[in-house]
Amino acid sequence: MAADDDLPEAVAVPPRRARFSPIWIVPILAIVVAVGIAWDRLASEGPTITIIFKSADGIEAGKTFVKYKEVNIGQVTAVRLTDDTQNVEVTARIAKSASPLMVEDAHFWVVRPRISLSGISGLSTLISGNYIGFEAGTSAKKGRQYVGLEVPPIVTGNTPGRQFVLQSKDLGSLGIGSPLYYRRLPVGQVVAYDLAPDGSSVQIRVFVSAPYDKYVVRDTRFYNASGVDVSLTANGLDVRTQSLVALLEGGIAFETPPGYASSSQASSETVFPLFHDRVTAMKVDESIATRYVLYFQESVRGLSTGAPVNFYGVAVGEVTDVGLFFDPKTLNVKPRVEVVLYPERVVAQLPTGQGVRLQAMVEQQVTRRDFMQKLVEQRGLRAQLATGSLLTGQRFVSLAYFPKASKARLDWTQAPAELPTTISTLPEIEEKLGRIIDKLEKVPLDGIADDLRKALASLDETLREARSTIQRFDTDVTPSLKSALDEARGALGAAEKVLMSTETNLVGPGAPAQADLRNAMQELGRAARSLRVLADYLERHPEAIIRGKTAEPMPK
Amino acid sequence: MTSAAARGLVSCSECALVSRPAAANAPGYCPRCGQKLEFRRENAIERTWALLVAATVLYVPANLLPVLATTTVVSSADDTIMSGVIYLFASGSWPLALIVFIASIVIPIGKIVALGYVLITVQRNAQANDRQRTRLYRIVEFIGRWSMLDVFVDTYIVALVQLSPLMSVEPGPGVPYFMAVVVLTMFAAMSFDSRLIWDRSGVNHGR
């Protein structure tokens, strides 16, 4: 049909040959593999960090590892000088798995063999080479730039225990790693020290490992245990040391004064003062202290500041000052000693029930003064100098009752009040000696002499009686003694005869025993001779012991 | 001089006998040696390109991944091809470094670049320097097998140095990629039809 002819003809497009050739699978596969590797690499790639060290001693790019808990977590990739050429910048690639550990306050240090007084560490690095030690931090912020530590941190973050800060005037012989002792048991270490921001003191950071950290309570005293502490006091020679390590290296000890052990535990980071020695550290701070002044009438040589004030042997106070006092009225100069008394120390020595009652009395100034006044004015409480050690001449102040002492008053209007004194015990001996002499004088020497004469007369008589007794002995006993001796002589003669006959039988020249003996002796002589011959022969022919005697005629 | 294909004749790729094709679209088989006859190798340029691209892609991991992992008591080190060359050069044996450098770096790159150049010029109907290009292609084909030197050295060392636990050497993950690069470039060189180089050239090669 014509209508059909008008229609346009469809365009015949020949089927295009597939442009894709299977050979392209090869490069696609190659790309997939290469991209896969790249992806894998990127995914496993951990962070790259830089650590600044003072020196790269033992650090080598590609050979030094970063280890955490002895596990490789990274590798040093580059070591170069910092831009100012003062330090070394170490670049390390950290494994992906360890990347969460790379926080701001993480620490790095070089582990190398270290030999110190307190121990040997890092010996394994002698074989494996140095490596970089790592200690994770607690911060949440990521860090990529670090400054390496020159010495490994003493305490790793996850060691249980607590840190405390000690404040001291100077560092002394302490250093990082110096031991911390509790009852001479090493329980911690000094982990860091730094000057206080104002430069007035040193802050020493110590770590007390669990479970010992619970013994650090609020009233715990820390004191320097470095070296030997020798003190010569009225109590004698006092030598204190901690361990030998502390002796050589220094150390800190802590202790809680008795009576405070039950106080609450100190929280972490508590600041404690570091005392110079144990004595000062352990001094209990008494809240109640009364000061007195003592005027002596004798030399106070040997008495020094800090000397104890004893009351029946219990230290109740101490000497705070030793000096002189000038009395303008009498133009007299006398020794002046200031003491401080801690009434609580007396209370502490009492049984519980009594202690409470006295404590109540002591706490109020009025009752306390009243009590002291009674002691001094009614009971005769006096202070006197006493010798602590005759060897060193150290003296202390002793409080005791002297009921016979002259009356004295305690004048509270003066500050400090004057506590009456009495002369020390040594001069008192003279007094006692005088009293002995007095007694001696009263002895009735005349009567004694009379008695003595009578005694001598009776003695004379006794002697005379004795002489007559001896004379009687001479006349009565001696003759009978003579006849007894004659008889004895006869007996001896008979004995002699018996002996003579024995001689002929046994030892006389013809006695049979004698003959036998002689024969025996001759036999013995012969035996000895042949033995000598044998010995001579053996000396010349030692082999004869093994081989026997040869035919060779015996030399004469 | 025109080529055989231009005259409607086909040359055997095996024995070089020039014969009349059985049909224009199916030349048939060589009457002398029985080889399947082709005017030009089918899809030669495309195939070569594909293999060349694959080789180029794999050349990257082959050079970035270590080929040799040395583990001693004190350390462990991974060496890539280039770091091995640098190590050899730094330790003074520069002739060895040069050999490894040429065999493992220069030749693979050279092959890829040379094949790429030839392919591009053929596709662009370039008519100049076809003699040089043919020579270049010949060199690429010839030299292909020698670039396995690095793999060869690798296997040698791995077999020799096994003093475990003191020291051990193991092939790294880069080795298969390097092998793949070498094999793919060889295949690429083979799949190319050198006759294409002078097909479009009007230059008389007779001389």
Please judge whether B74 and A24 are an interchain contact, meaning their C-beta atoms are less than 8 angstroms apart: no
Judge if B47 and B35 occupy the same domain. Answer: no
Query: In chain A, which residues have their Cβ closer than 8 Å to the Cβ of B58?
Result: 30, 33-34
CB A37 to CB B61 under 8 A? yes
CATH number where B145 lies: 1.20.140
Does residue B161 sit in the same domain as residue B109? Answer: yes
Does B206 fall in a domain?
no
> Are A191 and A256 in a shared domain?
yes
B32 and B87 in a common domain? no
Across the interface, whether the CB atoms of A34 and B47 are under 8 A apart is answered no
Q: Cβ contact (<8 Å) for A62 and B77?
A: yes
Q: Is residue B178 one of the residues assigned to a domain?
A: yes
Q: Is residue B175 a part of any domain in this protein?
A: yes
Listing DSSP states for chain B in one string gives: ---TGGGT-EE-TTT--EE--SSSS---B-TTT-PBP-SS-TTHHHHHHHHHHHHHHHHHHHHHS-SEEEEESS-EEEE-HHHHHHHHHHTT-HHHHHHHHIIIIIHHHHHHHHHHHHHHHHHTT--TTHHHHHHHHHHHHHHGGGGGHHHHHHHHHHHH-EETTTEEEEE-THHHHHHHHHHHHHHHHHHS-THHHHHS-------
- Total number of domains constituting chain A: 4
Q: Do residues B34 and B81 share a domain?
A: no
Length of chain A: 556
Our CA-based measurement puts residue A158 at a distance from the nearest CA of chain B, in whole angstroms, of 29
The sign of the CA dihedral A380, A381, A383, A389 is positive
Q: Whole-angstrom Cα distance, residue A556 to residue B3?
A: 138
Q: pLDDT grade, residue A354 (50/70/90)?
A: confident
A374, A406, A438: which is the final residue of a domain?
A438
* Chain B nearest C-alpha distance from A68 (Å): 17
> A106 and A188 share a domain?
no
Please count the CA atoms within 13 angstroms of the CA of A439 that sit on its side-chain side.
Answer: 6
How far from A534 is each of A524, A526, A555, B156, CA to CA, in Å? 15, 12, 12, 86
d(CA B51, CA B42): 15
Q: Is A21 on the interface with B (CB under 8 A)?
A: yes
Q: Do residues A105 and A138 touch, judged by C-beta distance below 8 A?
A: yes
Instruction: Tell me: do A245 and A370 sit in the same domain.
Output: no
Nearest to B111 by CA among B63, B143, B152, B135: B143
Residue entry with tokens 């060897």: A391
Residue B56 or A482, more confident: B56
Domain closes at, from A282, A307, A341: A282
pLDDT digits (tens, 9 = 90+) for A31-70: 898 888 888 878 777 888 888 888 887 788 777 888 888 7
d(CA A543, CA A534): 13
Residue B205 lies in a domain: no
* Domain presence at residue B184: yes
CB contact under 8 A, B73 and A23: no
Of the CA atoms within 13 Å of residue B179, those in its CB half-sphere come to 12
Q: Are residues B35 and B96 in the same domain?
A: no
Q: How far apart (Å, rounded) are the C-alpha atoms in residues A531 and A548?
A: 16
Tell whether A433 and A296 lie within a shared domain: yes
Q: Does residue A24 lie in a domain region? A: no
* A183: contact with B, CB 8 A cutoff: no
3-class secondary structure, A79? strand
Whole-angstrom distance, CA of residue B138 vs CA of residue B195: 12
Distance of CA A192 to the CA centre of its chain: 24
CB within 8 Å: A128 and B54: no
Does any CB of chain B come closer than 8 Å to the CB of residue A17?
A: no
Tens-place pLDDT, residues A267-290: 777 888 888 777 777 766 666 778
Chain B residues with CB-CB distance to A31 below 8 A: 54, 57
* A259 in any annotated domain: yes
pLDDT attached to residue A262: 65
Contacts of A62 in chain B (CB under 8 A): 75, 77
Residues B161 and B174 in one domain: yes
pLDDT of residue A215: 84
Domain range for A255 is 161-282
Q: How far apart are CA A289 and CA A326, in angstroms?
A: 26
User: Are B59 and B181 spatial neighbours (Cβ–Cβ below 8 Å)?
Assistant: yes
Pairing assessment for the beta strands A271-275 and A221-224 based on DSSP bridges = parallel
The partner residue sitting opposite A26, judged by closest CB among B43, B54, B61, is B54
Spatial CA neighbour of A132 closest among A193, A52, A191: A52
- What are the chain A neighbours of B182 within 8 Å (beta carbons)? none
- The first and second tokens of residue A30, run together, are 């190659």
* Contact yes or no for B43 and A21 at CB 8 A: yes
**Bridge partners (DSSP) listed for residue A48:** A93
Taking the CA of residue B51 and the nearest CA in chain A, the distance in Å comes to 6
- B60 and B131 in a single domain? The answer is yes
Same domain as B90, residue B30:
no
Closest residue, chain B, to A63 (C-alpha): B75
Q: Write down the pLDDT at residue A508.
A: 60
Same domain, A208 and A183: yes
Among A146-155, A158-167, B86-95, the least confident range: A146-155
Q: Which of A253-262, A507-516, B21-30 has the highest mean pLDDT?
A: B21-30
A211 prior amide bond cis, ω within 30: yes
pLDDT at residue number A549: 73
In percent, how much of chain A has pLDDT > 70? 84
Question: B25 with B83, same domain?
Answer: no
Question: Looking at residue B207, what is its pLDDT?
Answer: 37
Q: CA angle A151-A152-A155, nearest 5°?
A: 130
- On whether both A304 and A423 belong to a single domain, the answer is yes
Closest alpha carbon within chain A to B83: A62
Q: Do A63 and B75 touch (CB under 8 A)?
A: yes
C-alpha of B153 from chain center: 19
Residue type at position A405 = A
pLDDT in tens, A101-122: 888 888 888 887 777 665 677 6
- Per the structure, the complete domain to which residue B10 belongs is given by 1-39
Give the total number of structural domains in chain B. 2
Per-residue pLDDT of chain B (207 residues; tens, 9 = 90+): 566 777 778 888 778 888 888 777 778 888 888 888 887 777 788 888 889 999 999 988 888 888 888 777 666 677 888 888 888 888 888 888 888 888 888 888 888 898 898 888 888 877 777 788 888 888 888 887 677 777 777 777 777 777 766 777 888 888 888 888 888 888 888 888 877 777 765 554 443
Beta-bridged to residue A193, according to DSSP, are A204
pLDDT band at A466 (very low <50, low <70, confident <90, very high): confident
CB within 8 Å: B58 and A34: yes
Contact B57 A31 (CB under 8 A): yes
pLDDT tens by residue, A484-507: 888 888 888 888 887 777 766 666
> Could you give the CA distance from residue A63 to residue A83 in angstroms, rounded to a whole number?
23
C-alpha B58/C-alpha A27 separation (Å) is 9
Which residues of chain A neighbour B60 with C-beta distances below 8 Å?
A: 34
Looking at the structure, tell me whether residues B103 and B184 fall in a common domain: yes
Average pLDDT, chain A: 79
Cβ–Cβ of B180/A30 closer than 8 Å? yes
A62 shares contact with chain B (CB less than 8 Å):
yes
* Average pLDDT over every residue of A378-388: 83
Q: Do the Cβ atoms of B46 and A21 come within 8 Å?
A: yes
Distance of alpha carbon A112 from the chain centroid: 32
% of chain A exceeding 90 in pLDDT: 1
Chain A CB contacts of B55 under 8 Å are 30
Q: Quick one: pLDDT at residue A19?
A: 64
- Tokens for A437, please give them: 């002499």
Domain co-membership, A301 together with A370: yes
Same domain, A178 and A264: yes
pLDDT exceeds cutoff 70 at A164:
yes
For residue A245, pLDDT beyond 80: no
Q: Is the CA virtual torsion A403, A408, A413, A417 positive or negative?
A: negative
**A431 with A301, same domain?**
yes
Same domain, B62 and B147: yes
Domain contains A505: no
- Rounded to a whole number of angstroms, the distance from the CA of A119 to the nearest CA of chain B is 25
Please check whether residue B136 lies inside any domain of the structure: yes
Q: Which residues of A fall within a CB distance of 8 Å from B175?
A: none
- Residue A309 near residue A397 (C-beta atoms within 8 A): yes
H/E stretch holding A170? none
Residue A67 contacts residue A133 (beta carbons within 8 Å): yes
Q: What is the pLDDT of residue A551?
A: 65
Asked if residue B161 belongs to a domain, the reply is: yes
Contact A30 B73 (CB under 8 A): no
Residue A469 belongs to some domain of the structure: no
- Split at pLDDT 50, 70, 90, the class of A263 is low
Question: What's the CA gap between B166 and B71, in Å, rounded?
Answer: 8
Tell whether A358 and A269 lie within a shared domain.
no
| pLDDT computed for residue B205 by the predictor | 46
Residue B154 lies in a domain: yes
Pairing of strands A202-209, A185-195: antiparallel
Highest mean pLDDT among A89-103, A239-253, B64-78: A89-103
Q: Residue A52 is encoded by which pair of tokens?
A: 């600044």
Tell whether A128 lies on the interface with B, counting CB pairs under 8 A.
Answer: yes
- For tokens 């299977």, the residue is A22
Residues B164, B110 within the same domain = yes
d(C-alpha B103, C-alpha A220), whole Å: 76
Of A27, A62, A128, the CB nearest to B54: A27
Check CB contact of A433 with chain B, cutoff 8 Å. no
Residues B18, B46: contact at Cβ < 8 Å?
no
SS3 A190: strand
Q: How far is B64 from chain A (nearest CA, A)?
A: 10
